[in-house]
Structure 1
Amino acid sequence: MANMKKEELQKIVGKNFELTDEQFAKLEKFVEIFAEKNSHINLSAIRELNLIWSKHIYDSLSSVDFISKNNPKTILDMGTGGGFPTIPLAILFPEINFYALDSVAKKLKCVDGFANELELKNVYILNGRAEALGHDKKHREKYEMIVTRAFANFSPMLEMTMGFLKEKHYLLAYRGPEHNLEDDDLVLDYFGGFAENIFHYSLPTEETRELWYIKKVEPMMPQFPRHIGTPKKEPIILT
């Protein structure tokens, strides 16, 4: 069964990146310690080991090929929750510094614990609200790549992430297939982004997913993001 899992993961990471036995062993350990912690602290509604593999690990690693080709020095995970995709990606890319941002301190404490137990030296914790940190000079336009699986709605996601991203660099947005492409293009342009490509794939559960490669082509307007809670309560809608 372990070999099947590794073969499946190799398919999603792509032919340009070879998943090593050591990396796979760390992924196995992460699944074990995540499941154990998740039984005590609600990090995810997904508790079955096979679903952690297929819905969290496999999905997280769909960005590996693009990351390996672009080789960023820093990646910000916006809304990391229980550590996805930060921890799986940090296992595969020890040379990249990952910054896991979340507003829930107890979740970040778990993520920090996972990184320590897995001996990952490239994971850093950021506790705070994106709406506030997005205006902080320490974080504004400081990251070479952003990844996020945390947003159901496109407009709040762009408003809360694009300010962190350096110009001419990429936001990788993990998404489901239900959305309006025309509306997405309008709000992308408004926040200074351009969808360069969309990678379509299926999870082992046969659910369809998309990974959007969004390039920041111009600075985001300085008034964004708006006050805490506003992007989700009053999303920018363009028609």
Structure 2
Amino acid sequence: MDAIQQQFVSLLEVHNLTLSAQQLDQFEIYYKTLVEWNEKMNLTAITEREQVYLKHFYDSLSLSFNFPMSKATTVADIGSGAGFPSIPLKIAFPHLQVTIVDSLNKRIQFLRELVSLLGITDTQCVHGRAEDIARLPQYRDQFDLVTARAVARLQVLNEFCLPFVKRDGIFIAMKGSEIEEELVDSSFSLSELRGKIVKVNRLQLPIEESVRHFVEIKKIGATPAKYPRKAGLPLKSPLVKS
């Protein structure tokens, strides 16, 4: 274990998260594969090793600091990009059954190759727009936990993500430092999509000290048939009270 891995392990142990040697090996494979593929396609602007461990791996795992992962079996990651936060969560919590949805086929190809190299099971990588995939019966109202990491404003994310959540399941939006306005703007979409904010947790990343917020939303009813609207509409015309 080198200094970067030791720092990673120590930071996680503060939150009672312990990794085995095999799990550390998987994170190193993840890092090397990410950098290798990033030379062929744009997966991330962050490629320096220590920064990847902190800003991608640790940041992804921080979702588990405020939500007990033992409560979730099925997890969907919407707009996952290079696999954050779902693949780090899957490495750290192998019991999870993960479904990753992303609209770019090249990213899905990367993720399928990554899953194979990591030797992880129960991980499905689905190519398609969230609005289209959420209408398929095998994904609609099916997941214990759904997450998205800063891919859009909250009122848009609600329409992307809540249709995947089962009744009484949880959607956690991983957001940056400024969220007050988003919380206000999202109230109508929450009522339409049968979601209720349970709590908002704040975290300061170690070392660089940037702020993250975790908006935890409970699904209180089945998704109405008219949602999500057709692909492109949620971003173009977010849900607001008329």
Judge same fold: TM > 0.5, yes or no. Answer: yes
Aligned to 1:7: 10
Letter in 1 for 2:219: K
CA contact (8 A) 2:176 2:212 kept: yes
C-alpha separation in 2, matches of 1:229 and 1:95: 34
Separation in structure 1 between the aligned mates of residue 238 and residue 117 of structure 2, nearest angstrom: 39
RMSD value over aligned CA atoms? 1.8
Judge conservation of contact 2:12–2:18 (CA < 8 Å) in 1: no
* TM-aligned CA deviation for residue 219 of structure 1: 2.2
Percentage of pairs with the same residue? 28
Q: Is the 8 A contact 1:39 1:47 kept in 2?
A: no
Aligned partner of 2:21 in structure 1 is 21
- Offset of residue 70 of structure 1: 4.4
The letter for the 1-side match of 2:236 is K
Deviation at 1:104, TM superposition (A): 0.7
Secondary structure at the residue paired with 1:177?
coil
User: Which residue in the other structure is 1:94 paired with?
Assistant: 94
Q: Structure 1 residues 69, 112: closer, same or farther in 2, change over 3 A?
A: closer
Which of 170, 185, 188 is 2:190 aligned to? 188
Partner of 1:130: 130
Deviation at 1:150, TM superposition (A): 4.5
TM-score norm. by structure 1 comes to 0.91
Match for residue 231 of structure 1? 234
Determine the C-alpha separation between the residues in 2 that align with 1:67 and 1:110. 28
Once superposed, which parts of structure 1, at least 4 consecutive aligned residues long, lie more than 6 Å away? none
- Describe the superposition over 1:207-226 as per-residue Cα deviations: whole angstroms up to 9, x where unpaired: 10011111101223210111
Question: Partner of 1:82 in structure 2?
Answer: 82
Q: Which residue does the alignment assign to 1:202? A: 204
Aligned pairs, number? 236
Unaligned runs of 5+ in 1: none
8 A Cα contact 2:150 2:173, kept in partner: no
Opposite residue 205 of structure 2, the aligned amino acid is: L
After TM superposition, list the pairs within 5 Å mapping 1:36-185 onto structure 2.
36-179=36-179, 180=181, 181-185=183-187
1:170-207 deviations in Å (ceiling 9; x for gaps): 01110012132333344323321111112211123211
User: Does residue 218 in structure 1 map to residue 227 in structure 2?
Assistant: no
- Measured after TM superposition, the shift of residue 89 of structure 1 is 0.9
Q: Choose 56-65 or 107-116, whichever is displaced more.
A: 56-65
Counterpart CA distance in 2 for 1:9 and 1:38 is: 26
**Cα deviation digits, residues 31-62 of structure 1 (max 9, x gap):** 12212211222111222222212211111001
* Higher deviation after alignment, 107-116 or 49-58: 49-58
